[in-house]
Amino acid sequence: MTDRLLVLVRHGQSEWNLQNLFTGWRDVGLTDKGVAEARAAGRQLKALGLRFDIAFTSALTRAQRTLDLMLEELDQRSISVLRDQALNERDYGDLSGLNKDDARRKWGEEQVHVWRRSYDVAPPGGESLKDTAARVLPYYVQAILPRVLRGERTLVSAHGNSLRALVMVLDHLSPQEIVRRELATGVPLIYRLNTDSTVAERQIIAAEVV
C-alpha cells in the first residue's frame, strides 16, 4: 500500500518565544533549547523508521533551521526542500515585537485575548487565524497534498498558526476548537491519509526531554 505520509512539526523554541514576544513574520533564530527540540524531533522520526521524499517549510529562519536539523538527524540532507511564505506564521501586525504582558497593559487583557484566541478577529495591521488559513490551505491543496497522495513521504516544518490551519482541516475541527488547540514546539504530528485525502491514521509523538 502506498504510504501517504504527512508529518507536521512546529519549529523549535525561538528566541522571541523565550522572551514572551509576539513574533509573527519577524525573522528570529532558535534558542539552544529550540535546536535541541529540532534535533530530538529528527531522532524520534528516525527511530520510527520514517524516511522522506520531500520537505516544505516557510520563508522564516526558525522553521528552516528546524527542518535542517531534523534532516541532519535523519541523514536526509539531500532531499528536495520547498520554501514558501504561504507557510509563514500568522502576521501579528502592530503586536509584532511586543512583550505579551506589555500588550495586555496597553490594550487590556480582554482585547489581547480576543486577538490571540479568536478565529476571525485580527490585531491592528495583522492577520486573524482565518486570514492565515486563507493563504495556507490553498498552498496545501495545490502544492503539498498532491505529492502526499502520490505517495511522496512529506515533512512540513512551519509555525504554530500556519500548522493550526492544516490541523483544523485534517482533524475536522471547528473554529472554536482550533483556537484552543496548542501545538508544542518540536513535536511531530504524523498523519497517514486515505486516497480521498481524509486521515486514515494520526499519531502525536510525545515530547522528548531535552
Residue 45's pLDDT is 97
Residue 78's pLDDT is 94
The one catalytic residue in 37, 73, 89, 127 is: 89
C-alpha cell at 32: 539552544
Please say if 11 is a catalytic residue. yes
Give 34-74 pLDDT, tens digit per residue: 999 999 999 999 999 999 999 999 999 999 999 999 999 99
Give 149-191 pLDDT, tens digit per residue: 999 999 999 999 999 999 999 999 999 999 889 999 999 999 9
The three-state (H, E, C) secondary structure of 11-75, written as one string: CCCEHHHHCCECCCCCCCCECHHHHHHHHHHHHHHHHCCCCCCEEEECCCHHHHHHHHHHHHHCC
**Residue ranges covered by each domain of the chain:** 5-204
Give 113-163 pLDDT, tens digit per residue: 999 889 999 999 999 999 999 999 999 999 999 999 999 999 999 999 999
Q: How many Å apart are CA 150 and CA 136, to the nearest integer? A: 20
Q: How many Å apart are CA 210 and CA 187, to the nearest integer? A: 12
In CATH, the number for domain 5-204 is 3.40.50.1240
Residue 207's pLDDT is 60
Q: How many Å apart are CA 23 and CA 194, to the nearest integer? A: 35
Who has greater pLDDT, 188 or 207?
188
